[in-house]
Amino acid sequence: MNEIVKKDLLDILPKINLEKLKNKTLLVTGSNGLIGTYLISLIYLANKEKSLNIKVIGISKNSPNKTLSEFTSNPNFKFYTQNLAETFNVSEEPDFIIHAACYAQPKKFLENPIETIKLNTETTEHLLKLAMKNNGVFLFISSSEIYGQPDPSNIPTPETYNGNCSPLADRALYMESKRLGETICKIYKENFGLDVKIARASSIFGPGISIHDPRVLGNFLNKALNKGHIDLMDQGDQERTWCYISDCTLMLFNLLLHGKDFVYNVGGRELVSIRQMAEIIAELTNARVSVPEEEHKENFVKGAPSRVEVDITKITQEFNLGEFTTFKLGLINTIEWNRIEFL
């Protein structure tokens, strides 16, 4: 396991009570993704450090990535390579399910619109039915995208905000299918009594966001590390509260195993603009940043919120969460991970 990832996980392992998972089976969809990889890697270390004998089933469209491939010889880990947007079968009946599979990159969900919708709706219901077989616990990884463009009075955005979304917007196929996925979860919770939780994840980053990722962070890392120059397409005024992946992992396991409520925002505390991100990356890589006189938005996906700041009061108070990883430290780790893996 990459030493940066390992250190991240060993730091948070003492902060999570995983006893409910002892001798149980956990299924994680989207196992190759940023979130899925950290979730599964934490269980690997938990089994090793605490002898919990947790069995893990990972499902992804592609073969296990470099990190997960290290676990394939371990009898407690089994990986399926299946397209969850199509008919799929899992022979096991898991006790816990985390549904993290989805196209989160705008480029990818625009190229795969029907698959994206199915992953958030039909696949969600298929997995909920699977959870019902063993009276299991289900965690749906939703997104802060479901809030759309909140009015200023609802920023930071609480879980009670209903959203301001157009079903005809370019990003609608993602945000509206996430919203419907949440509705399906509500039906299984209220009508069938299943233990279901929803995590509205917001701007998660860290090792796993590679220089080949076309989203803004991966794009900036690529430019800084390979060209020494980050050129912005506009003034970089869009703002996000970024959440480091180990903090996200800590929150997700707390929700899955101990969450008292149904819906939680999962995000960070530091509000950072795109321009600030570029400047910090440039500082850490000895690159330079240029800001255009005119904006070049021909490649932008219309409808992206200008400011994304979710209210994480509920989750931080319920689980007594203290300091989060700073954005700068998270970037240092992400940069170093990319240097080890790709440069």
pLDDT tens string 312-323: 999 999 999 999
Cβ neighbours for 7, distance < 8 A, ≥ 6 positions apart: none
What pLDDT score was predicted for residue 273? 97
Q: How confident is the model at residue 293 (pLDDT cuts 50, 70, 90)?
A: confident
133-137, 191-195, 249-253, 291-295: least confidently modelled range: 291-295
Percent of the chain with pLDDT over 70: 97
pLDDT tens string 170-180: 999 999 999 99
Q: How confident is the model at residue 298 (pLDDT cuts 50, 70, 90)?
A: low
Picking from 5, 92, 14, the residue whose alpha carbon sits closest to that of residue 41 is: 5
What pLDDT score was predicted for residue 294? 72
**Dihedral, 208, 157, 309, 116 alpha carbons, nearest 10:** 40
Q: How confident is the model at residue 185 (pLDDT cuts 50, 70, 90)?
A: very high
Q: How confident is the model at residue 40 (pLDDT cuts 50, 70, 90)?
A: very high
Mean pLDDT score, 86-90: 89
**Does 88 have pLDDT greater than 90?**
no
Picking from 125, 314, 105, the residue whose alpha carbon sits closest to that of residue 210 is: 105
Range of the structural domain that residue 79 is part of? 3-342
CATH (domain of 114): 3.40.50.720
Q: What is the 3-state secondary structure (H, E, C) of the chain?
A: CCHHHHHHHHHHHHHCCCHHHCCCEEEEECCCCHHHHHHHHHHHHHHHHHCCCCEEEEEECCCCCHHHHCCCCCCCEEEEECCCCCCCCCCCCCCEEEECCCCCCHHHHHHCHHHHHHHHCHHHHHHHHHHHHCCCEEEEEEEHHHHECCCHHHCCECCCCCCECCCCCCCHHHHHHHHHHHHHHHHHHHCCCCEEEEEEECCEECCCCCCCCCCHHHHHHHHHHHHCEEECCCCCCCEEEEEEHHHHHHHHHHHHHHCCCCEEEECCCEEEEHHHHHHHHHHHHCCEEECCCCCCCCCCCCCCCCEECECCHHHHHHCCCCCCCCHHHHHHHHHHHHHHHHC
Mean pLDDT score, 24-52: 98
What pLDDT score was predicted for residue 303? 64
What pLDDT score was predicted for residue 304? 76
Count of domains forming the chain: 1
What pLDDT score was predicted for residue 120? 98
Mean pLDDT score, 58-72: 97
**Does 301 have pLDDT greater than 60?**
no
Q: How confident is the model at residue 343 (pLDDT cuts 50, 70, 90)?
A: very high
Q: How confident is the model at residue 169 (pLDDT cuts 50, 70, 90)?
A: very high
Q: How confident is the model at residue 289 (pLDDT cuts 50, 70, 90)?
A: very high
Mean pLDDT score, 11-31: 98
What pLDDT score was predicted for residue 75? 97
Convert 294-321 to b/e letters by CB count within 10 Å (16 or more is b): eeeeeeeeebebebbbbbbebbeeebeb
Q: What is the pTM of this model?
A: 0.96
Structure-block tokens of residue 123: 């696949």
- Mean pLDDT, the chain, rounded, equals 95
336 vs 294, more confident: 336
Cα separation, 61 vs 49, whole angstroms: 30
**Does 300 have pLDDT greater than 60?**
no
What pLDDT score was predicted for residue 89? 87
Q: How confident is the model at residue 47 (pLDDT cuts 50, 70, 90)?
A: very high
